[in-house]
């Protein structure tokens, strides 16, 4: 299959590209290596994708998806069968600090991708990243795709919700097949430095107290990146999908934050100090994915527990982050 991946140098994009190359797919990656976090890490991931590719199986353009003309010519020349749109400004907590960056990258960028896809002679299937954050303060657990998502609590969540709505318009107006994936707290090697496990590991190593919000009463459906990539891949090739689909991709086991921290501290061989803080604005107390819909449609079945996944993150962190 010919697959175009936006955000290919990102955390999830990198793992997806390597997995698709190992299946023998032809890839076209797009990323602008922005400075939301260390661009050196993105370049390093990108080098690894190149190293994993057979001659001619990985093409790449450094471009901003908001540059519709440049994106259009990349899509025109490659003629993908599937587009996976992962490029976005991630992170709910940061979105209040840089609202215009989120609107531009997540909303204008998404519209640009939709427009370029719909203009193709053979319109590709579009699989795009949404987020568990769209569930906002929903307290009915586990979150299932039929729950109302009209009350997001961060700007980031609002951009992802709007992506889902706009994708619905394009699938309805133009017959585009659009598949939105609500990822739940993804973690693993080559992780983002702005995310919780990285921040905890950095603080543990530096001997700083860990900032624990909501006094530690937080639960997350931590999902190992290989499981997420398996879920995405199933959605790329599954023949059993409707024209417009929304799926949760999680592990379906909410874990106490303090349990994850215990495993990580054990792996790093430290006894952390804690600074307990109130709930942060724009945050959710618990996330928990109901995955029965994607399991039914695609056979998705996550297999990595936190007792296996956190040590795999920690091994990478020790090798890559501590040796810098």
Output 108 or 217, the one with its CB closest to ligand NAD.
108
SS (H, E, C) 253-285: CCEEHHHHHHHHHHHHCCCCCEEECCCCCCCCC
Residue 299 to residues 230, 233, 240, 247, 249, Cα–Cα distance (Å): 10, 11, 11, 12, 12
Listing DSSP states for 42-97 in one string gives HHHHHHHHHHHSPTTSEEEEE--TT-HHHHHHHHHHH--SEEEE--S---TGGGGT
Given 36, 156, 300, 317, which residue is catalytic?
Answer: 156
Q: Contact between 183 and ligand NAD (CB under 6 A)? A: yes
| Of 86-94, 255-263, 299-307, 314-322: span binding ligand NAD (CB under 6 A) | 86-94
Q: Contact between 66 and ligand NAD (CB under 6 A)? A: yes
Active site residue 156: yes
Output 13 or 272, the one with its CB closest to ligand NAD.
13
Q: Which of 29, 80, 90, 189 binds ligand NAD (CB under 6 A)?
A: 90
Could you give the CA distance from residue 158 to residue 156 in angstroms, rounded to a whole number? 5
Output 168 or 270, the one with its CB closest to ligand NAD.
168
Q: Contact between 180 and ligand NAD (CB under 6 A)? A: no
Q: What values do phi and psi take at 54, rounded to 5?
A: -70, 160
Q: Which of 32, 95, 154, 287 binds ligand NAD (CB under 6 A)?
A: 32
| Of 181-189, 268-276, 296-304, 315-323: span binding ligand NAD (CB under 6 A) | 181-189
Straight-line distance from the first to the last Cα atom of the chain, in angstroms, rounded to the nearest whole number:
37
Q: By the criterion CB under 6 A, which residues form the site for ligand NAD?
A: 6-7, 9-13, 30-34, 36, 42, 64-66, 86-88, 90, 105, 109, 129, 131, 183, 185-186, 192
């Amino acid at each position: 299959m010919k697959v175009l991946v936006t955000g290919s140098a990102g955390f999830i994009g990198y793992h997806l590209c390597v997995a698709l190359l190992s299946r023998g797919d032809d890839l076209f990656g797009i990323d602008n290596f922005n400075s939301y976090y260390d661009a050196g890490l993105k370049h390093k991931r990108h080098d690894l994708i190149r190293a994993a590719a057979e001659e001619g199986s990985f093409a790449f353009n450094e471009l901003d998806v908001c540059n519709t003309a440049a994106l259009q010519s990349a899509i025109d020349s490659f003629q993908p069968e599937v587009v996976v749109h992962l490029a976005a400004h991630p992170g709910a907590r940061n979105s209040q600090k840089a609202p215009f960056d989120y609107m531009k990258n997540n909303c204008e960028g998404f519209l640009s991708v939709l427009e370029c896809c719909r203009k193709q002679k053979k319109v590709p299937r579009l699989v795009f990243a949404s987020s568990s954050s769209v569930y906002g303060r929903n307290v009915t657990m586990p979150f299932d795709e039929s729950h109302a998502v009209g009350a997001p609590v961060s700007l980031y969540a609002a951009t992802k919700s709007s992506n889902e709505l706009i994708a619905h318009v394009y699938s309805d107006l133009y017959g585009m097949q659009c598949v939105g994936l609500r990822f739940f707290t993804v973690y693993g090697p080559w992780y983002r430095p702005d995310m919780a496990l990285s921040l905890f590991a950095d603080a543990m190593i530096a001997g700083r107290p860990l900032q624990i919000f909501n006094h530690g009463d937080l639960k997350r459906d931590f999902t190992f990146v290989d499981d997420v990539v398996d879920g995405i891949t199933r959605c790329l090739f599954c023949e059993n999908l409707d024209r417009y689909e929304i799926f949760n991709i999680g592990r379906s086991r909410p874990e106490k934050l303090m349990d994850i921290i215990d495993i990580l501290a054990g792996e790093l061989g430290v006894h952390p100090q804690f600074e307990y803080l109130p709930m942060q604005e724009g945050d959710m107390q618990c996330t928990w994915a109901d995955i029965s819909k994607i399991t039914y449609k695609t056979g998705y079945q996550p297999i990595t527990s936190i007792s296996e996944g956190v040590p795999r993150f920690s091994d990478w962190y020790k090798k890559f982050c501590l040796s810098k």
